[in-house]
Chain A
């Protein structure tokens, strides 16, 4: 999802670890100062950090269209959405920081490639219809994952998710609204909407990560309740929900083998190309280099602001002490 292929550290078998697991099994929330196994802490830092980075990097494909939105209203809405993504990143960094890592450390790990962000943001946004597809499909897929995470075992993470989920629904609806406008517009607009769906369908399915039925990492994360559903469950749920929405728009999901099964109550669909997914994660997607370069530039260009504000704060504090 926004956190993909997060490596889970193994649990130890100490009495503390067993008592800890019992707390989680009883549905208790774990809070920052509580005892927790090292593996739980490390896995959560990786997962929440990756989630936060995805929110921040996720601003780039949409930021691309702020100056080119078709109307002032669309521009104001997109600006508000991108601002929300920044906010979501901040909520999540704060949650990660309660585990003993600092935001600047996490940022540095993103910038030098030690930490990842979601594969989806390595695809370009070529037309205005892509703003619709991103809101509808990408935020829609994110919601699938984030709603159950509101019940995750780690208190600060769960609370960040509650805030995020409240805001995320606006994102998906504004995306679908753009798609409706385009799909019901001129023939050129309709083609643009179809083209956006064609390009974002499989990358959206990849967001959930590869099938994890054989993954031991996944089993441990589920026992710790930091992963609430399997990747396949969430992907299926996403397809089942999204296909009728595409039909409503009069658009065609780019999957000739897509089929509804009455007996299972689910769609059968084609899996995305997992070799492409792995390649994007390795840094070879269409926009990986651009995204990291943009984040590095923002960080480097902002260094004087960060330092200057600290110097100003020091000076003010010194003046206040002197006045007392």
Chain B
């Protein structure tokens, strides 16, 4: 079903929910839900995803606003990192005599 079909049926739009589990951590995607507007999405997110103290903060984002990379781009996007092992500290041999680095 396309987004246009869903709009024609007057279905509540889909929202993605992100929750900060603990202070000091970033928000993490936990799932999605339906709501007519942002205020309701926030209330529903609280009821659906934090019944057991799973979070200290919630973000809700309309799913239609998310731009995602395509699975077919996986190679061109991520493979170039394979031959740049010098980006990792373990690439360089530092003599033990130098001490901690």
A residues adjacent to B (C-beta < 8 A): 31, 33-35, 80, 83-84, 87, 90-91, 94, 97, 100-105, 159-160, 163, 167, 306-307, 309-310, 312-313, 316-317
Contacts of B9 in A (CB 8 A): 102, 104
B84 adjacent to chain A (CB < 8 Å): no
Contacts of B40 in A (CB 8 A): 309, 313
Question: Is A33 a contact of B68 with CB atoms below 8 Å?
Answer: yes
Question: Is A312 a contact of B1 with CB atoms below 8 Å?
Answer: no
- Which of chain A's residues has its CB closest to B17's CB? A94
A-B contact pairs, 13 of them (CB 8 A): A31-B71, A35-B71, A84-B51, A90-B33, A91-B48, A94-B32, A102-B11, A103-B34, A104-B9, A159-B31, A163-B31, A309-B12, A313-B36
A216 to chain B, nearest CB (A): 30
A31 to B72, CA, bound (A): 12
Contacts of A97 in B (CB 8 A): 14, 32
A83 to B48, CA, bound (A): 9
Number of interface residues of B (CB under 8 A): 21
Question: Is A313 a contact of B51 with CB atoms below 8 Å?
Answer: no
C-beta contact mask, B35-65 vs A, less than 8 Å → 1, else 0?
0110010000001100110000000000000
- Contact with A94, one of B1, B12, B31, B36 (Cβ below 8 angstroms): B31
A80 to B52, CA, bound (A): 11
Question: Is A313 a contact of B37 with CB atoms below 8 Å?
Answer: yes
Question: Is B12 a contact of A306 with CB atoms below 8 Å?
Answer: yes
Most buried by A among B1, B10, B36, B71: B36
Contacts of B12 in A (CB 8 A): 306, 309-310
Question: Is B1 a contact of A105 with CB atoms below 8 Å?
Answer: yes
Contacts of A160 in B (CB 8 A): 31
- Contact with A312, one of B10, B32, B36, B70 (Cβ below 8 angstroms): B36
- Which of chain B's residues has its CB closest to A307's CB? B10
Contacts of A35 in B (CB 8 A): 71
Contacts of B34 in A (CB 8 A): 103
Question: Is A167 a contact of B52 with CB atoms below 8 Å?
Answer: yes
